[in-house]
Amino acid sequence: MPLSIDWAGLTAVNPDITGWILVEALPQVSFPVVQGPDDAYYVNRTYDGQTSGSGCIFMSCLCSRDFSSPHTPIYGHNMNNGTMFSPLYTHRADDTFRRNPYIWILTPQGAYCYKVFSVFETARSSDAFAVFLTRGRAFLEHAYGLMARGQFYRDTEVLLTEESRIISLVSCVPSTYNRTVISAVCVSARQPGE
């Protein structure tokens, strides 16, 4: 595993912590992931529940806590000071994700490696961050729709199936209501101790 996480210690701080995200190409993007009672709760709270304009990294309240949902949107602010998900915006149009397209989601159940297949900008009202709780044709069409949107980066060699597990990292674009979206599909899983 890329990191050793003290899950007992983290969940003692906040039982809403569901995992840890690490973007290989951007090591400064390494944070706990939380899930609140709704998608507004952690917009202005840190992972330990303190009030903060920076908020924290949080997954959609509709998704499975273990990241097993077909499509899991993960949100984070694009902060002016370069923290949270701001490196995603800064590096969205360069070759960062072409050179190293891997994102890790670590959970108490295991470590999941995702490969970026699409980087794009979209409106905040876009269906790009739609949550899918069931697999099937509609989900697969959505997955290939995410790939087709890849304006900054698109990997058409990635295989997407009805059984795929996709995450989409979502962050705001400065001075607009748009969002940067980085979609990735799970390509491997390791159990604790492997």
Domain count of the fold of the chain: 1
Q: Report if residue 108 sits inside a domain.
A: yes
Instruction: Classify strands 102-107 and 71-75 as parallel, antiparallel or unpaired.
Output: unpaired
Q: Report if residue 78 sits inside a domain.
A: yes
Q: How far apart are CA 150 and CA 140, in angstroms?
A: 16
Would you say 99 and 126 are in contact if contact means Cβ atoms under 8 Å apart?
no
Expressed as residue numbers, the domain containing 171 is 7-190
The reported pLDDT for the residue numbered 166 is: 97
Q: What are the DSSP calls for 73-141, one per residue?
A: EEE--B-TTS-BTHHHHHTTTSSHHHH--EEEEEETTEEEEEEEEEEEEEETT-GGG--B-S-SHHHHH
Q: What is the pTM of this model?
A: 0.94
Low-confidence ranges of the chain (pLDDT < 70): 1-2, 192-194
- DSSP label at residue 128: G
Q: How far apart are CA 98 and CA 194, in angstroms?
A: 27
The reported pLDDT for the residue numbered 1 is: 55
User: Which CATH number goes with the domain that contains 96?
Assistant: 2.40.260.10
Q: Report if residue 1 sits inside a domain.
A: no
Q: Report if residue 158 sits inside a domain.
A: yes
**In 3-state terms, the chain is what percent helix, strand and coil (to 5)?**
15, 35, 45
The reported pLDDT for the residue numbered 194 is: 60
Q: Report if residue 84 sits inside a domain.
A: yes
Tokens of 31: 């944070």
